[in-house]
């Protein structure tokens, strides 16, 4: 008896979640299809029922971040309710100790930039969409402010850059200081002229 369409969706989601966690921990090059499928409790043969290639899976894993962070992929026509509160919440969450310490939930924007830069067009598009979603939230919070676009992009750069740098140092004080500085500057950009 064939599997139901719902079963196929659930299985694909399980594979994507497994891949996202493994890519976050080990990077694109170090993770094999066999490892992803074993982690998902499936065989390699099942992989090709859901994905055309490892690049296809990687793009799906990058795009899946929206499922673990509901404000990561807002699109340009989506209305953001209470955008100032949402923007502040995003800055606070993004640069938090909890997010830094939980490798499995790291956002691809700071967890995978080098991998994505070397990846194919599909992963790069998924990464770009995440970046645009984050920028959209900040733009909504800055609506009507002169240079809102530049401020929104600076906020994205501060959040992502702050986390990239914090992840790369083994000095706990510097990790905290980098994130606090990025948070302070990002929130300062939210203030009205």
pLDDT at 67: 46
CB 129 within 8 A of CB 50: no
Tokens of 140: 């909504």
Q: What is the model's pTM?
A: 0.82
CB 193 within 8 A of CB 146: yes
pLDDT digit string, tens, across residues 36-76: 999 999 999 899 989 999 989 998 988 887 644 555 545 55
Higher pLDDT, 167 or 69: 167
Closest by Cα among 73, 75, 72, 104 to 89: 72
Domains and CATH numbers, the chain: 5-63 (1.10.10.60), 70-190 (1.10.357)
* pLDDT of 9 strictly over 50: yes
């Amino acid at each position: 008896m064939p599997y139901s369409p719902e079963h196929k969706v659930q299985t694909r989601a399980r594979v994507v979640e497994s891949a996202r966690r493994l890519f976050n921990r080990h990077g694109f090059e170090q993770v094999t299809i066999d490892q992803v499928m074993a982690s998902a409790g499936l065989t390699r043969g099942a992989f090709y029922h859901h994905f055309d290639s490892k690049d296809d899976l990687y793009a799906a894993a990058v795009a899946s971040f929206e499922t673990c962070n509901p404000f990561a992929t807002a699109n340009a026509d989506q209305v953001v309710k209470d955008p100032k509160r949402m923007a502040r919440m995003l800055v606070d969450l993004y640069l938090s100790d909890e997010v830094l310490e939980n490798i499995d939930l790291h956002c691809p924007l700071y967890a995978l930039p080098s991998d994505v830069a070397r990846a194919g067009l599909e992963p790069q598009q998924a990464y770009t969409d995440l970046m645009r979603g984050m920028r959209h939230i900040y733009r909504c919070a800055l609506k009507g402010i002169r240079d809102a676009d530049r401020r929104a992009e600076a906020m994205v750069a501060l959040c992502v850059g702050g986390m990239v740098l914090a992840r790369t140092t083994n000095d706990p004080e510097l990790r905290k200081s980098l994130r606090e500085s990025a948070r302070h500057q990002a929130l300062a950009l939210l203030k009205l002229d």
